[in-house]
Amino acid sequence: MSVDRRDVLLKGGRLLDPSTRTDAVGDILLRDGKIESIGGNLNAPDGATIVDCTGKVVSPGFIDVHCHLREPGREDVETIATGARAAAAGGFTAVCAMPNTDPVTDNQAAIGFVLKQGRAAGAARVYPIGAISIGEKGEQLAEFGEMVGAGAVAVSDDGKPVVSAQLMRTALEYARAFGIPVADHCEEPTLAAGGDMNEGIVSARLGLKGIPSEAEEIMAIRDILLARRTGGHVHLCHMSTRGSVELIRWGKDRGINVTAEVCPHHISLTEDEVTGYDTNAKMNPPLRTLDDVEALREAVKDGTIDVIATDHAPHHNDEKEREFSEAPNGIIGLETALAVNITWLVAAGVISLETLIDKMACAPAKLFHLEGGTFRKGALGDVTVFDPTATWKVDAATFRTKGRNTPYQGRTLTGLVSCTVVDGRVVFQR
């Protein structure tokens, strides 16, 4: 292996990219880390890496707009490097890292640090998301301008809701100058306080305090209305209820600039997973009812939900192996996202593979104004190769993330990443 060549020829796969309406078996060539051409039987330039994609699907690289990489502060649980490698193994060529680190990523130096660590990892790209408020305290705006200048692609106080409507309004207005989305974790704190799972019959049986769906919906409609007032772009994180979906539809019907994401676990699992007090089924927002799951799947299908993001949230085993109410919220997701989505959305006949790629690659790039997510000539050479029919058994012990907290442990899923290319370099190959 000589000089760092960023030329890759991916041969014989099914090239699938909704953004360019590509759906054909053939070759795609990357040169100098950019998309060069698509065709049949392309010639590889000297020294190019050749990847045989026969029987596989080749798509623009997946982009996860919502994950937690824990660095700085909790390197025992994940680092930007291990997270970026886990992302690559999951087929992600880029991830957006949420700022609820310790200290909070709320200034240009912190943003720079995350970018630097991401580059050093040499796996998936890491785009930092800056905090909305200093320290995520919900009081004072962080310096959006400086953070964007240093490389932040969005702002969010995720982990926490923006409690003050006034602050949310100001954030939406202020962010307009920088053309970035303001992403909110929708949770009305007084309704949700002390809650460990969805409020319903399961929480009643288990004697656990529940979080009613209204806790999410009240904040969702608030944010939608503020987006209308301010003309800003609000991005609603990890939507989980039928009510939220209906409100988003209401907003979009009126041309309001609201976008929404859903996580793979919310379109596949219900609150029944918590029976037995399994802390690997504990996250925020919680798993809801089958009715909510069905509404979310329908919303992915009809476009009410724009993107699927992982909300990858690794935790140490010591923290998760506790009484349910003591355990922290969150599950890992980078290395299971594709398979969960294929198993419960594509194989289940809810959406086509093409729509899935749009939700996982094209739309994230578009909404967060990122390069990539397309096979257009000259676009970033970020490509994902996967087998949409391969089945495999989930064993978190083999994952690249440091976290092991997944509710899918031991399950057989469909859909396996075989190769991930970032910037014309193979960063993962099975």
Partner 1 sequence: MTPTTSSVLGKDLLGLEHLSAEQINVILDTAGPLKEISERAIKKVPTLRGATVVNLFFEASTRTRISFEFAEKRMSADTVNVAASGSSISKGETLVDTARNLEAMRIDMVVIRHHASGAAKFLAERIESNVINAGDGTHEHPTQGLLDLLTLRDKLGDLRGKRICICGDVLHSRVARSNIWGLTKLGAEVAVCGPRSLLPNAIGEMGVQVFDRIEQAIEWADALNVLRLQLERMQAGYIPSLREYNRVFGVTRERLERAPRDILILHPGPMNRGVEIDSDVADGPHSVILDQVTNGVAVRMAVLYLLAGNKPTLATAARGDA
Sign for the CA dihedral angle at 294, 299, 300, 302 comes to positive
Among 325, 329, 352, 429, binds partner 1 (CB under 8 A): 325
- The closest alpha carbon to 329, from 161, 196, 207, belongs to 196
Q: Which stretch binds partner 1 (CB under 8 A): 260-268, 319-327, 347-355, 378-386?
A: 319-327
Distance between CA atoms of 401 and 121, rounded to whole angstroms? 13
Distance between CA atoms of 330 and 311, rounded to whole angstroms? 8
Q: Which stretch binds partner 1 (CB under 8 A): 15-23, 163-171, 202-210, 216-224?
A: 202-210
**Closest separation in Å from C-beta 215 to partner 1:** 13
Among 82, 117, 156, 203, binds partner 1 (CB under 8 A): 203
Beta strand pairing status for 62-67 and 92-97?
A: parallel
Find the binding residues for partner 1 in span 63-102 (CB under 8 A).
Answer: none
212 binds partner 1, rule: CB under 8 A = yes
Strand, helix or coil for residue 385 = strand
Helix (H) or strand (E) holding 206: helix 201-206
Which CB, 76 or 371, lies closer to partner 1? 76
Among 112, 143, 316, 324, binds partner 1 (CB under 8 A): 324
Among 323, 349, 397, 398, binds partner 1 (CB under 8 A): 323
Which CB, 208 or 396, lies closer to partner 1? 208
188 binds partner 1, rule: CB under 8 A = no
Q: Name the active-site residue from 27, 311, 358, 423.
A: 311
118 binds partner 1, rule: CB under 8 A = no
Which CB, 134 or 206, lies closer to partner 1? 206
Which CB, 97 or 287, lies closer to partner 1? 287
End-to-end CA distance of the chain: 19
**Closest separation in Å from C-beta 342 to partner 1:** 33
**Closest separation in Å from C-beta 316 to partner 1:** 12
**Do residues 37 and 22 touch, judged by C-beta distance below 8 A?**
no
Between CA 216 and CA 226, with CA 221 as vertex, the angle to 5 degrees is 125
Question: For residue 264, what are the CA distances in angstroms to 96, 190, 261, 334, 343?
Answer: 17, 27, 10, 10, 10
Which CB, 211 or 367, lies closer to partner 1? 211
**Closest separation in Å from C-beta 209 to partner 1:** 8
Is 311 noted as a catalytic residue in this protein?
Answer: yes
Q: Which stretch binds partner 1 (CB under 8 A): 62-70, 114-122, 204-212, 351-359?
A: 204-212
Query: How many Cα atoms sit within 13 Å of 355 on the Cβ side?
Result: 19
**Closest separation in Å from C-beta 212 to partner 1:** 7
**Closest separation in Å from C-beta 277 to partner 1:** 3
Neighbour tally for 293: CB within 10 Å: 23
Helix (H) or strand (E) holding 8: strand 8-17
Between CA 48 and CA 52, with CA 50 as vertex, the angle to 5 degrees is 170
Q: Which residues pair with 310 in a beta bridge?
A: none
Which CB, 155 or 274, lies closer to partner 1? 274
- The closest alpha carbon to 344, from 262, 265, 268, belongs to 268
**Closest separation in Å from C-beta 202 to partner 1:** 8
321 binds partner 1, rule: CB under 8 A = yes
280 binds partner 1, rule: CB under 8 A = no
- The closest alpha carbon to 90, from 406, 363, 400, 402, belongs to 400
Among 48, 206, 351, 426, binds partner 1 (CB under 8 A): 206
Q: Which residues are catalytic?
A: 311
Residues that bind partner 1 (CB under 8 A): 199-201, 203-210, 212, 276-277, 318, 321-326
